[in-house]
Homo-oligomer: A and B are copies of this chain.
Amino acid sequence: MTGIRLDPIGLVESALTDAALAPRQPDEGAPDAWLVIEDSYAAALEGIVPGSELVVLTWLDRADRDTLAVHPRGDTSRPLTGVFATRSPDRPNPIGLHDVHVLAVDGTRVHVRELEALHGTPILDLKPVLTLDR
């Protein structure tokens, strides 16, 4: 199979700068953050408004792509588990999924609640949380 090329659509702007301090899930204390989308994608943001619920797809650029199995949450008392059965960032194609609530939209900058992604993390895509109408 041939490789696939992705170009990020923007970057995360966040107070989270240290991977060691990053929460593993957003309900564990992630800060609000900005999705800074490139101007060339402005038309693709039409329809995203305060109150929108989005899935943010990120590229976890600090991840180790050669890891195939981990102890879940780094807990060595738990059995070694394949990364496809965990949410470990270390995996062959480290794409992050983050459910967020939109607080504000300012041009191509989108302010969101509780995003557990490090400052500078590339953003690949935004999708609405699925409802029957979409």
**A interface residues (Cβ-Cβ under 8 A, vs B):** 1, 3-9, 11, 25, 41, 43-48, 52, 54-55, 57, 59, 68-69, 72-73, 80-87, 91-93, 95, 97, 122, 124-128, 130, 134
Contacts and interface: CB of A to CB of B under 8 A. Distances in A.
Contact of A46 (B45, B48, B80, B122): B80
Contacts of A48: 82, 84-85
How would you classify the secondary structure of chain A's contact residues: helix, strand, loop or mixed?
mixed
Chain copies in complex: 2
A134 B86 contact: yes
Contacts of A7: 1, 3-4, 92-93
A80 to B, nearest CB: 7
